[in-house]
Chains A and B, each alone.
Chain A
Amino acid sequence: MKSAVITFPGSNCDRDMHVALNKFGFKNQMVWHNDNELPKSDLVVLPGGFSYGDYLRCGSMASKSKIMQSVINFAKSGGLVMGICNGFQILVESGLVPGVLLRNRYLEFICKNVFVKIDNKDNPYFKNLNKEVFEFHIAHNEGNYFCTNDQLKEIEDNNQVAIYYCNNNGKTEEKFNPNGSLKNIAGIFNKEKNVLGMMPHPERMIDKSLSGEDGSFFFKNLINNIR
């Protein structure tokens, strides 16, 4: 299985993602933002970081990078595109998933482990997972998900919420919401569920002795789903 991770100027989780993808069996290729064409891939990942220094709005400049037209075409043709953290911000700015990511409610950069609950497994990312609650890491200043009431209705009607912030038992109450996100939303899909954007970093949870293994479950399952 082939994957591609796009490196934008200011990306800093691109190599972590490269390590994670290779560890679980992908043959990953790094792609520079100024390239025109994506290599043949089964999965394209927009990594975390601070692309273009977060100027103007997080992800706004990166969403207009040369490679993004190719990523958008790949997504529109049904290809799997996953955006993590700043990658999620790039996805919303490029219009591949609905909504926006505002500054965190209390204006603080949040860097900690959180629990998220998977709501819907009828998609290529979470299909066949035998667990619902995952411990992932978040590190962001703009992760406060927001969309219009019309968009929210459409998102909920189409089961597009991918993950919610919750506690270790999977309770999705407001007090477990770290950043003020609408309805505790931590990640969403596009309508077709081939594009996934989420704030938490599964690639930081792939080593038992360093962090945790919940990311390992996610990546192992993902590659099996694609095979």
Chain B
Amino acid sequence: MKVSAIITLKKDVLDPQGKVIHKTLDGMGFKDVNEVRQGKYFEIDVKENDPKKAQKIVEDMCNKLLANLVIENYKIIEIQ
């Protein structure tokens, strides 16, 4: 199954890259932006056909490696 996960910075953590992207967008004329936060997206093809088990495996990966839970949150957004 293909499991998709996104990893985002927690609310209180400074995101300097997001800030610079926001400034650049502003300079390009996109004036209606309140804030930009940058994150990561993973697509993981696991050798497991049960969606619940596949989700568990990727959650385990997020907890142990893909996310640093001090500053980041993760969310499984799609299983197919």
Q: Which residues of A contact B (CB under 8 A)?
A: 56-57, 60, 64, 93, 99-100, 102-107, 144, 146-148, 151, 180
Give the contact-size bracket for chain B: 10 to 19
A147 to B10 CA separation, bound complex (whole angstroms): 12
- Further contacts, 7 of them, CB under 8 A, given A146-B14, A147-B70: A102-B13, A103-B16, A104-B16, A107-B16, A146-B70, A148-B70, A180-B14
A99 to B66 CA separation, bound complex (whole angstroms): 16
Q: Which residues of B contact A (CB under 8 A)?
A: 13-14, 16-17, 20, 65-66, 68, 70-71
By a CB distance below 8 angstroms, the chain B residues around A93 are: 68
Whether B70 and A100, one on each chain, are in contact in the complex, defined by CB atoms closer than 8 angstroms, is yes
Whether B71 and A103, one on each chain, are in contact in the complex, defined by CB atoms closer than 8 angstroms, is no
DSSP class of A's interface residues: helix, strand, loop or mixed? Answer: loop
Whether B71 and A100, one on each chain, are in contact in the complex, defined by CB atoms closer than 8 angstroms, is yes
Please name the 9 residue pairs, one residue from A and one from B, whose CB atoms are nearest each other, closest first. Answer: A100-B70, A107-B16, A100-B71, A103-B16, A100-B68, A57-B68, A105-B16, A107-B20, A60-B65
